[in-house]
Structure 1
Amino acid sequence: SELQKQRAEWMAQQISGNLGIKINVETQADWGVYLDIMDKLEYDFTLSGWGADYNDPMSFLDIWVSNGGNNHTGYADAKYDELLASVYKETDQDKITEIYKELETKLVNEDAVISPVYYTDKYSFYQNYVKDIQFTSFGSVYEFKHAYIQGKN
């Protein structure tokens, strides 16, 4: 989209101005071509996004496992894979949280595989007579399971 192109150009300017690294911005409007480029690792640097499918850190962390279907970076690290696998064997939530912290530290601070740049917001508009709509942080925007109409004239 035009907005994504503007973001990429702004980031390229910032990197050039602050780090002296020149980046040629190329955008890909065709989703299939973009995915093919990502799968073949035919890029040096990319802006891409990810939205969690469910309310758990694993929705962000399991995509970086070696040879994972959504790992379009070529990142492969045996320690990361081992840590990730250990979550599935652990039942103590405090220990799981510590493992999640280790995984995030490895991705962002140590290996610098990803660099989160921004987060999106969700805006919702609805009539005041629609009650008990649940607005979710992850997955679909709305849950209508318990919603009902009250006071509509």
Structure 2
Amino acid sequence: ELVKTAETDKLMTYNPTLAKSYWKKAQKALGQSKVNFTLLTYDDDDAKKAGEYLQSTIESNLKGVNVRVNSLPKKTALVRGQNGNFDTLLMGWQADFTDPISFLDLNTSNASYNWGKWANKEYDKYVAASKTTGNENARFEDLAKAERVLLTEQGVVPLYQPAEAWMVRPTVKGVVYNGAGANYNFKYAYVEK
């Protein structure tokens, strides 16, 4: 997360009461009490479990919402995502390099990975400005503003991040554990005697 604020905490906190109030507003605006949609996921264990959890949580908290989980092989799900052939899509993204732009650039209006076609001119302006300034503080402020717009409008909904535990022999030194890109680098690794 770029900037942790009370605003972003509120947006990213599990809040069934707030969700129910928005669901009631949506029912009134749509003039219907029921909604059905499909959640497209990969067919690996983690994605299936996440999809089932979302289905259960949504259906138990929002009466009248029916979620069908469709788990497909990753390649098939990605092709459907790329073609815009989904109601909702649960997918993952790993940063290619250690910079917020690796995630934020994906959601600009014309980005090839913006499969949901979310668009916001203000967001696009902040991301573009972050690429043209020579001032690092101004750049990160633009990126933080872009993130706030994305989270406020829920252009994407970050749900979780994976984590792994590592056991490394104490005599192994110099292994670099990367936060993005390749998980680790053994270029400077050695075994201490």
TM-score (norm 1): 0.89
Runs (5+) with no aligned partner, structure 1: none
**1:62-96 Cα deviation digits (max 9, x unpaired):** 01112212221111222222221111111222211
What residue number does 2:56 align with? 13
**1:62-101 → structure 2 map (5 Å cutoff):** 62-101=105-144
Match of 2:149 among 106, 129, 139: 106
**1:4-153 → structure 2 map (5 Å cutoff):** 4-20=47-63, 21-29=65-73, 31-109=74-152, 111-151=153-193
**How many Å apart are 1:48 and its aligned residue?**
0.9
**How many Å apart are 1:128 and its aligned residue?**
2.6
Amino-acid identity (%): 26
The DSSP-based 3-state class of the residue aligned with 1:27 is: strand
Q: Which runs of 4+ in 1 moved over 4 A?
A: none
**1:44-68 Cα deviation digits (max 9, x unpaired):** 1111111111111011100111221
Count the aligned residue pairs: 149
Which letter does structure 2 place at the counterpart of 1:113? G
Larger proportion of strand: 2
The DSSP-based 3-state class of the residue aligned with 1:108 is: helix
Which structure has more relative contact order (CA 8 Å, sep 6+)? It is 2
**How many Å apart are 1:142 and its aligned residue?**
0.8
Q: Tell me, yes or no, if the aligned pair for 2:130 and 2:140 is still in contact at 8 Å.
A: no
**1:86-138 Cα deviation digits (max 9, x unpaired):** 111112222112111111111111x2111211111133233332211111111
TM-score (norm 2): 0.72
Runs (5+) with no aligned partner, structure 2: 1-43
